[in-house]
Structure 1
Amino acid sequence: MMFRGDAVFSFHPVKRKARSLLALLAAVLGSGPWVSAVGAQEPSGGLAYTIAKIKPSIVGVGSFQRTRTPPAVFRGTGFAVHDGVHVMTNAHVLPEAIDRANFETLAVFAASGGAQSVRQAELAALDEEHDVAVLKIGGAPLPAIRLGDSDRVREGEEYAFTGFPIGMVLGLYPVTHRGIISAISPIAIPAPRAKNLDRQTLRRLGSSYEVFQLDATAYPGNSGSPLYDVKTGEVVGILNKVFVQETKENLLEKPSGISYAIPIKYGRNLLRQKLGLQ
């Protein structure tokens, strides 16, 4: 119901018997587990609460070289896991090479309470087949995100992901998108023409596995973002690619709204098999 701003309300006196009944009702309600509608808060477990819990764990991933302009080069998103000094991201987010001779380092970029920091990182484990990497970072531990069970994900369920869709252009302010699992489909789709097949596609066709297709808008900077349950914040996947309908140059202007995520079970396997972490 909507009331106009110039509406006139008239109040009529309540009879004595009615007042006594209201007083009795107020006394009964006051003694029970009731919450006043005035100042009532949204129950915990909503997306707003989950985002607040997730954001401190989100980092940028790239490289840092003090003598370079700019010194920081952003390549994708990552998120803290396990003990807070390990960061999970995509394998393709990592630089192809690090110029250590000129003091370039692998790095993550974190923000806390408005303060931004650069953390030196080292590659701890790599799974190129499933496009997952784990870094170990210096400094104090970050809040770690809990990993969920990606085998229980179903089509039609709603999830969210948080990361840096356009890098650090607007600063280290993680952005959240959400959508449903549109399909659980193979990582590689056969090309319609033989000339479109390359070595990477052929390899994926030979060892294909299922990934999550989302009806959510993501951008290249979202690579490595955690895909998580909107209520619990448990991570079920890692954003790793976006369907491009025209060219990469037009992706910001004309996003396809189709994104893909790697099931988190491959990240869990990497932590357990390569690092002995649960």
Structure 2
Amino acid sequence: MSTKGREGGIVYTYYPGRGSWQVEPPEPPEPPPPPPRRGRLTAAVAGIVAGSLLAWLLGGLLPGRHRERERASAVIAPAPVPGTTTPAPRHGDEPADIAGAVLPSVVLVTAPGGTGSGVVYDAEGTVLTDAHVVAATTGEVTLRLTDGAALQAAVVGADPVSGLAVLKAVDAAGLRPARLGDSDETRVGEEVLAIGSPFGLEGTVTAGIVSALNRTPAGEAGPLALADAIQTDAAINPGNSGGALVDMDGEVIGINTALAGTGTGSAGIGFAIPVNEAKRVADRLLATGRVEHARLGVSALDSPSRPGALVGDLTGGGPADEAGLRQNDVITALAGTAVTSAAGLIAAVRAHRPGERVSVTYERQGTQRTTEVVLTGP
């Protein structure tokens, strides 16, 4: 019969038939008591944790397979469909990004007598430029794109009062419309780019700020006065006329049109037609081929005593005369728009059409008055 013995946790067994002792393997420990039964919520949470842990382990152990799945997803994702306009830059992008987005929408305009610039207005091939760029012709002009392609275009119409002209390309396939902003939101001091073809150097970009608003450039007078212009110190030279003045959202806020100084080069003072005025004039030229500008029937100067337009001469039987306005009255508002200068009065009148009835607020000998005026045409 075998005999068992224990020493220090080790079990020995003596077998008489063998005459020897043998060390026995340790006995397995008793299993722990079963855990309390979990509810469904506890089991569900445990399953989620286990699944997350398994996914993490697999991701760590099998990085190649994980990346392959990512690459496969990227490959099968649909590519964006190319459009007719360049994707808009984000506000705060570098000037290089903004210029790159807008340059394809600005063209070199070649007409008999000179060259200028133009801004692509729509996908139908409409191009905006300055009236003086195409003043010597009513026939075809040539548009050169940034990629070197040349297109023929016809003059739809020109408006010498606003200084704007509209062209229509024969083939609009290669043209990319610009993104037009809201010039009423333009602020003095904001950064801008001027894009065009000064001295025939197409695709030229200059930078500056909006220096002032509601300017009437020196030397302009009468019905041809450029009123409500945006002033900028971005370099504008001969050949920039008709090009784009662009804000930091990549939107066109003006059509470059004039420069101050000797007329041979930039003096840091250039002017642009506000794009809201350009859109209004362009739409009328496209619809009828001509633009009728409203008139109040007065000549005006800046008031020396307070913000407003000082009435000078009146057209006998004209709208202002018929409404009771008199010389030396100071007009301070028209149709609810504040008037702080003579240029502001011109701009406020031009925002309306002939035949419209508008209110005019004015001061006479310290007393504020309001009257109704029916604006006339040319």
- C-alpha separation in 2, matches of 1:179 and 1:236: 14
* Candidates 246, 257, 263, aligned match of 2:274: 263
Q: Among the aligned pairs, what percent are the same residue?
A: 31
Structure 2 match to 1:203: 223
**1:215 is the counterpart of 2:233:** yes
Structure 1 match to 2:244: 226
Report the alpha carbon displacement of residue 204 of structure 1 after superposing the two structures with TM: 4.1
- Matching residue's letter, 1:217: A
Structure 2 match to 1:239: 256
Structure 1 match to 2:13: none
Structure 1 match to 2:176: 143
* Candidates 94, 100, 108, aligned match of 1:52: 100
- Matching residue's letter, 1:91: A
Asked if the contact 1:63–1:108 (Cα under 8 Å) also holds between the matched residues in 2, the reply is: no
Asked if the contact 2:217–2:271 (Cα under 8 Å) also holds between the matched residues in 1, the reply is: no
* Candidates 125, 130, 133, aligned match of 1:85: 125
- C-alpha separation in 1, matches of 2:222 and 2:279: 26
**1:153 is the counterpart of 2:181:** no
Q: 1:57 to 1:188 in 2, by over 3 A?
A: closer
Q: 1:273 to 1:164 in 2, by over 3 A?
A: same
Structure 1 match to 2:286: 275
Please state whether the residue corresponding to 2:165 is helix, strand or coil: strand
TM-score, normalised to structure 1's length? 0.64
- C-alpha separation in 2, matches of 1:143 and 1:84: 10
- Matching residue's letter, 2:228: E
Please state whether the residue corresponding to 2:231 is helix, strand or coil: strand
* Candidates 136, 141, 151, aligned match of 1:106: 141
* Candidates 156, 177, 181, aligned match of 2:206: 177
- What do the CA deviations read for 1:18-60 (whole angstroms, capped 9, x no partner)? xxxxxxxxxxxxxxxxxxxxxxxxx953322111111111111
- C-alpha separation in 2, matches of 1:256 and 1:166: 15
TM-score, normalised to structure 2's length? 0.48
Q: 1:84 to 1:149 in 2, by over 3 A?
A: same
* Candidates 152, 158, 162, aligned match of 1:130: 162
* Candidates 143, 151, 154, aligned match of 1:119: 151
Larger Rg: 2
- C-alpha separation in 1, matches of 2:114 and 2:107: 10
Structure 1 match to 2:345: none
* Candidates 174, 177, 197, aligned match of 1:164: 197
Asked if the contact 1:63–1:74 (Cα under 8 Å) also holds between the matched residues in 2, the reply is: yes
Runs of 5+ unmatched residues, structure 2: 1-88, 288-378
Please state whether the residue corresponding to 1:180 is helix, strand or coil: strand
- Matching residue's letter, 1:239: N
- Matching residue's letter, 1:122: A
How many residue pairs align between the two structures? 198
Report the alpha carbon displacement of residue 94 of structure 1 after superposing the two structures with TM: 0.6
Structure 1 match to 2:136: 96
Runs of 4+ in 1 over 3 A off after TM superposition: none
Report the alpha carbon displacement of residue 265 of structure 1 after superposing the two structures with TM: 1.0
- Matching residue's letter, 1:119: L
Aligned-residue CA RMSD in angstroms? 2.6
Match runs of 1:35-46 below 5 Å: 45-46=93-94
Asked if the contact 2:129–2:243 (Cα under 8 Å) also holds between the matched residues in 1, the reply is: yes
Q: 1:240 to 1:220 in 2, by over 3 A?
A: same
Please state whether the residue corresponding to 1:166 is helix, strand or coil: helix
Q: 1:97 to 1:134 in 2, by over 3 A?
A: closer
Report the alpha carbon displacement of residue 272 of structure 1 after superposing the two structures with TM: 2.7
Q: 1:187 to 1:137 in 2, by over 3 A?
A: same
- Matching residue's letter, 2:257: N
Match runs of 1:5-84 below 5 Å: 45-63=93-111, 74-83=114-123
